[in-house]
Amino acid sequence: MSTQLRTRIFEALDALVLVDPHTHINALSPASTTLADILGYHYYTELAHSAGMPKARIEEPGLAPKEKVGRLIEYLGTTENTIQSSWLIEMAQVFFDFKDDAITTRNWESLYDKAAAAMAQPDWTERVLNRSKLEAVFLTNDFDDPLSGFDTNVYVPCLRTDDLVFHLAQSSVRERLQKATGTSVHDASSLAVAIGKLFEHFVNRGARACAISLPPDFTPTRVDAQRASAAVAEVWKNGPQAERAKQVDLGHFVFWTLAEYCAQWKLPFDLMIGVNRGVYAEGVFQGRDLYDSRVSLIQYRELFNAFPQVPFPISVLASVTNQELVSYSWIFPNVLCNGHWWYSNTPTYIEHDAAARLEAVPRTKQIGYYSDMYKLEFALPKFAMYKRILAKILAERFVVDRGWSEERAVDLGRQVLRGNVDTVFGDPRRR
Amino acid sequence: MSTQLRTRIFEALDALVLVDPHTHINALSPASTTLADILGYHYYTELAHSAGMPKARIEEPGLAPKEKVGRLIEYLGTTENTIQSSWLIEMAQVFFDFKDDAITTRNWESLYDKAAAAMAQPDWTERVLNRSKLEAVFLTNDFDDPLSGFDTNVYVPCLRTDDLVFHLAQSSVRERLQKATGTSVHDASSLAVAIGKLFEHFVNRGARACAISLPPDFTPTRVDAQRASAAVAEVWKNGPQAERAKQVDLGHFVFWTLAEYCAQWKLPFDLMIGVNRGVYAEGVFQGRDLYDSRVSLIQYRELFNAFPQVPFPISVLASVTNQELVSYSWIFPNVLCNGHWWYSNTPTYIEHDAAARLEAVPRTKQIGYYSDMYKLEFALPKFAMYKRILAKILAERFVVDRGWSEERAVDLGRQVLRGNVDTVFGDPRRR
Amino acid sequence: MSTQLRTRIFEALDALVLVDPHTHINALSPASTTLADILGYHYYTELAHSAGMPKARIEEPGLAPKEKVGRLIEYLGTTENTIQSSWLIEMAQVFFDFKDDAITTRNWESLYDKAAAAMAQPDWTERVLNRSKLEAVFLTNDFDDPLSGFDTNVYVPCLRTDDLVFHLAQSSVRERLQKATGTSVHDASSLAVAIGKLFEHFVNRGARACAISLPPDFTPTRVDAQRASAAVAEVWKNGPQAERAKQVDLGHFVFWTLAEYCAQWKLPFDLMIGVNRGVYAEGVFQGRDLYDSRVSLIQYRELFNAFPQVPFPISVLASVTNQELVSYSWIFPNVLCNGHWWYSNTPTYIEHDAAARLEAVPRTKQIGYYSDMYKLEFALPKFAMYKRILAKILAERFVVDRGWSEERAVDLGRQVLRGNVDTVFGDPRRR
């Protein structure tokens, strides 16, 4: 009974047209051109590397796409148990009519060729969007992205701000800021002006969120203008050699300024909390980051109290932080649960975390899922994984345990999958 | 099979007459008088506020009960997914013959009126107790509560000590202590005498526990008399402006003194570990507290070793601390698991936490559940939630996974639901 | 369906012949001689003590085995809910033809006598190994163990190094080191030489791992020779009274040196992370240790980066650390998941933790289980518990949720149960 119930609920959810509220899609090249774009996703390269593949095998300069795929395939068998592998198989089956249940050294070439042919079709991007029932995807744009050359209704700009908060000590970042804003920064006030211009540009181009990823020890606090100006002076003068405390002050000032502009421009501020960058120095590209799960949302207490008008959709990197996210979302009107991020984006953790959210956070305050993808083909299997888990939770915990009707359970699922994306991330210009 | 098995075990457990070992019931006004008493419970007001209801809508001075309910109902739809909402529906169905599965702006008024009529019956309190199969409920009494005017066999006094440990810097608390004990405190020794009088009064009036809630950074330690006297002098002189270190010393001294009296008077000392008060300054009444889940029972190491004769029934605020509670209860004879507290009182966390306890802690050392309620009507749906989860665990993990007979599983359930309450919280005067 | 599926998968897994990659077996006396060896296991004595049994009842000098068992049996009823109790019953049923489902004051004597008779058989050890389908068990050997008098193909030596890293301040440990290595230690270099001799001895005698248990605050780091020599001088001179910082330096130096020899000798370095020793001073023998779950693998960052050639099979004491273990194993090629240790070796935590590993860590990098046993009879029920949980996960999460064939799921189970033990812990002399 329960399996059939799950299937029926899944099918109802699977009929929805989606908006993906967080991706790393390049709007000028959203879909893949060969299977190397797919298998080059850090989930596969880092798992293959973890299973024994030398990094040089795939990071060799000038390596041809097909050769790269062939080398990665050798290690696929060792990771076929992973959910990431199941995304790959489902994608191959749906998009490229793949019939086997594993990609091996014997069958990969025909898949590669079939995929290349499919991807070469001029309307491939539209086919993927249609087949995936994707109406729009949110981007992750550098602060100096011109945001031109694409339809911002389909590829929705989001202002990513890690560089501003954490990397202004690099001269290249400061130069990009000056170039993007035409503003010469010399103190707190001119820095705030420059940041303000970024918001103006982004909102005018249809941006719907400001976003940032944060290390576990980050504890935002207000820094006054005088202290901030001293930090600007020090960092602009000494760059990476600037006094550490001043660099921290600068980061805090920029972060607080971002929150102020989010308030002014009515943008949600996505916080992705808990990542340590570069933990594994010799890791593959994008496969070096890990975390310290000893983090608490209490670190954000001052921020949440200071900006009641700014919605903070929050992602936590570790499942052990999810209960805090549930509780803070239940108490703070401006705190929302947002998706299942990275190392928590696997079924066991999604199930535990999503169930806890669904039973204790207002239904209007939960963004169920985002794909975090770099290429469009990933939305389908990733969302499918989430929808299956969501269907399981709704079937077991709402229909069976709490006596809800199927229809009512499906409605709840629809809201967290799609409805809340529209209400939370609506166009700020229309608010 | 498993669903029917769960139902049979639930029904067996549901036949039990209960004692609720922790509530906030006012013994002089235990049941509700209107639905405003129900919907005014912080679980509903804070969820409604979180979902967008301005605080002023319900904290307006002089607001009539029915109007208050009407305003809260507007937001119920946004929180109907929560387990707290399901308590409300079940309560309305059982006590007020409510037939729908949601309380809406269209059907609430008749429910309100029906409830008001039912609650107006002179024997409403007894009806609720009977219908809920409740024999007695434990109270949470201020240290200066006269404990008179009610039957202490039904409304069992418990000495709540947060004010003594954390708020003696407030002159009003010191005055209450002086008035309640007729003792003028001027040093460690007279403070201990005063606290001793509270224990004498409480135990003579039938108290069965001493209780306190504690912040995540609290680490009890013994403070000697000289240092404690210095702390008393400083705090009695300077109140909230007293040196911080002296206030901490004073709190530690009082806490340790409480444990000493628990030993002397044979009272269990309920520790509710992990809450940060006032995190969300603009929250609704009782809806401002949150937590930092980075807490460890290792902080209580000195205490547990120093008082082997005192039972410490422990509640932890965050599910991530539950495994430590399991392990410490498995090793320390004086550490017991106590209920599922507040932010961990939702099905996903209860299920994970209770299952871990049932399979690794002696069956005699687990208090399954307490309601934490402010009004009697809440015991029924809250205990029903717990009993359903307990039945699920017993069915799946004991009968199916471990081959236990149903009867044996039910016996285990009875013991954690009721038997252990009697043995752990028996009358200290009869020990 | 799912229950039958689980049973079929369990039976397939249960047919495997096993190698147990971590135990505390004494190779010269591997099996039990009376039930007192079984019930004297700290899991039973500490649970009985926790449930109220005075320590003196079982730690009385000269207590006869049968009397000791009789006294422990009195408390078995209070812990029969625990999974540890179920190991006992299953063991009694399988090895001693016990027919009841509980060991009580009424039936224990005949069980005791039957067990004693069985254990008195000259081939009892072989019978247990055969019945348990155990081909070999890994030992936990003191660094000065002569490793003689037993078949190292069945009883595989492992170099346990807690004493070297944490207890060199004790003169007895320093003397044992001198005696075992014939080396007089006076600086960093001679200490390294001495440690090197231990590795040579162990590897020549067939050792397949170096192992250590570590407290939550341990953060390994490289200490240079000069600083290490200063630490040696201080500790060799002042023993336990040596400066604390110097003792820490010494521990760090020894630990790093162990890792260097693991690299040189191609030995995996088992890290068992998170235990605080002696937390409950009055606990029974081996029942005094607990933990602080606030630990992170980020503490091992420098180590993991410095020794890419050393496999680190890692056990974590608390389930809340398991997600970090999953993520670090997914990223670092040299980090592996190893079993379910001690306080996490109960079904609820095993299920959550193993499921997360199986879906995100390469299948080649997971050691499913080890028994940690002191007597051979425990392998059977402990592995049976794990195999049942593994079968449940494979049935529900792979066959049902992901559409895997049963055969494919069983293959995955076989690999984590046995295959990876062979590949990860192969004989270093043959690499």
A296 touches chain C (CB under 8 A): no
- Chain A residues whose CB is inside 8 A of the C404 CB are 101
Give the pLDDT of residue C57. Answer: 95
> What pLDDT score was predicted for residue A430?
87
- Name the pLDDT band for B398 (thresholds 50, 70, 90): very high
Return mean pLDDT, chain B: 97
pLDDT digits (tens, 9 = 90+) for C176-217: 999 999 999 999 999 999 999 999 999 999 999 999 999 999
| One-letter amino acid for residue C419 of the chain | G
Q: pLDDT value at position B1?
A: 55
> A320 touching C, CB under 8 A?
yes
Interface test with C, best of A80, A81, A349 (most C CBs within 10 A): A81
pLDDT tens by residue, C406-421: 999 999 999 999 999 9
Q: Chain B interface, mutation test: which of C348, C353, C396, most B Cβ atoms within 10 Å? A: C348
For the residues of C99-126, what is the DSSP string, one character each?
A: -SSS--TTTHHHHHHHHHHHHHSTTHHH
Tell me: the pLDDT tens digits for B21-32? 999 999 999 999
Q: What is the least distance, in Å, from the CA of B362 to any CA of chain C?
A: 4
Judged by a CB distance cut-off of 8 A, whether residue B4 touches chain C is no
CB B344 within 8 A of CB B27: no
Say whether pLDDT at A34 is over 80.
Answer: yes
* Cα separation values, B232 from B179, B193, B229, Å: 17, 13, 5
| pLDDT of A380 strictly over 70 | yes
> How far apart are the CA of C45 and the nearest CA of chain B, in angstroms?
10
Give the tokens for residue A366: 């939960």
Count of helices and strands (H, E) across chain B:
19, 11
Average pLDDT score over residue span A194-208: 98
The reply to whether residue A82 touches residue C359, judged by beta carbons under 8 angstroms, is: yes
The conformation of residue C309, written as its DSSP 8-state character, comes to T
Find the CB nearest B82 among A298, A332, A359: A359
Q: Which of B293, B322, B323, B353 to mutate to test the interface with C (most CBs of C within 10 A)?
A: B323
**What confidence score (pLDDT) does residue C419 get?**
98
The predicted structure's pLDDT at residue A8 = 98
**B70 pLDDT higher than 60:** yes
Contact: C287, B331; criterion CB under 8 Å: yes
Contacts of A355 in chain B (CB under 8 A): 347-348
Confidence of residue A1 (pLDDT cuts 50, 70, 90): low
Band of residue A2 on the pLDDT scale cut at 50, 70, 90: confident
Q: Measuring CA to CA, which residue among A380, A385, A286 is closest to residue A45? A: A286
Give yes or no for B293 touching C (CB within 8 A). no
Report the percentage of chain A scoring pLDDT > 70: 100
DSSP conformation letters of B132-146 = TTEEEEE--B-TT--
How far apart CA C376 and CA C132 sit, in angstroms, is 9
- Give the contacts of B74 (CB within 8 A, at least 6 positions apart): B53, B105
pLDDT band of residue B102 (cuts 50, 70, 90) is: very high
Strands B312-316 and B335-338, by their bridges, are parallel
By the CB < 8 Å criterion, does A366 face chain C? no
What mean pLDDT is reported for chain A?
Answer: 97
Q: Whole-angstrom Cα distance, residue C195 to residue C182?
A: 11
Q: Is the pLDDT of residue C1 over 60?
A: no
Whole-angstrom distance, CA of residue A213 vs CA of residue A195: 18
pLDDT (average), residues A235-248: 98
Chain-wide mean pLDDT for chain C? 97
Burial class from Cβ neighbours inside 10 Å (0-12, 13-18, 19+) for residue B383 reads buried
Of B294, B305, B359, the CB nearest to C81: B359
Distance between CA C316 and CA C353 in Å, rounded? 10
Q: Does A50 touch chain C (CB under 8 A)?
A: yes
Q: Of C199, C270, C178, C259, nearest to C223 (Cα)?
A: C259
Neighbours of chain A (3+ CB pairs under 8 A): B, C
Q: What is the pLDDT of residues C102-122, one digit of tens each?
A: 999 999 999 999 999 999 999
Q: What are the beta bridge partners of residue C270?
A: C211
- The nearest CA of chain C is from the CA of B44 a distance in Å of 31
C42 touches chain B (CB under 8 A): no
Is C46 close to B330, i.e. CB distance below 8 A? yes
A289 to chain B, closest Cα gap in Å? 22
Q: What is the pLDDT of residues B265-299, one digit of tens each?
A: 999 999 999 999 999 999 999 999 999 999 999 99
Q: What is the pLDDT of residue C168?
A: 98
Q: C49-81 pLDDT, tens per residue?
A: 999 999 999 999 999 999 999 999 999 999 999
Q: Cβ C401–A347 below 8 Å, yes or no?
A: yes
Q: Each residue of B346-372: pLDDT tens digit?
A: 999 999 999 999 999 999 999 999 999
Q: Say whether B331 and C388 touch across the interface (CB within 8 A).
A: no
C-alpha distance from C313 to closest chain A C-alpha (Å): 14
Contact A400 B3 (CB under 8 A): yes
Query: Would you say residue A177 has pLDDT above 90?
Result: yes
Please tell me the predicted confidence (pLDDT) of residue C430. 87
Name residue B407's beta-bridge partners. none
Nearest CA in chain A to B348: A356
Residue C313 to residue C329: CA distance in whole angstroms: 9
Q: Do C290 and B308 count as a contact with CB atoms less than 8 A apart? A: no
Neighbours of chain B (3+ CB pairs under 8 A): A, C
Q: Do C368 and C354 contact (CB within 8 A), yes or no?
A: yes
Residues of A in contact with C394 (CB under 8 A): none
Average pLDDT rounded to a whole number, residues C145-160 = 98
Encode chain A in three state secondary structure.
CHHHHHHHHHHHHHCCCEEECCCCCCCCCCCCCCHHHHHCCHHHHHHHHHCCCCCHHHHCCCCCHHHHHHHHHHHHHHHCCCHHHHHHHHHHHHHHCCCCCCCCCCCHHHHHHHHHHHHHCCCHHHHHHHHCCEEEEECCECCCCCCCCCCCCCEECEEECHHHHHCCCCHHHHHHHHHHHCCCCCCHHHHHHHHHHHHHHHHHCCCCEEEEEECCCCCCCCCCHHHHHHHHHHHHHHHHHCCHHHHHHHHHHHHHHHHHHHHHHCCCEEEEECEECCCCCCCCCCCCCEECCCCCHHHHHHHHHHCCCCCEEEEECCHHHHHHHHHHHHHCCCEEEECCCHHHCCHHHHHHHHHHHHCCCCHHHEECCCCCCCCHHHHHHHHHHHHHHHHHHHHHHHHHCCCCCHHHHHHHHHHHHHHHHHHHCCCHHHC
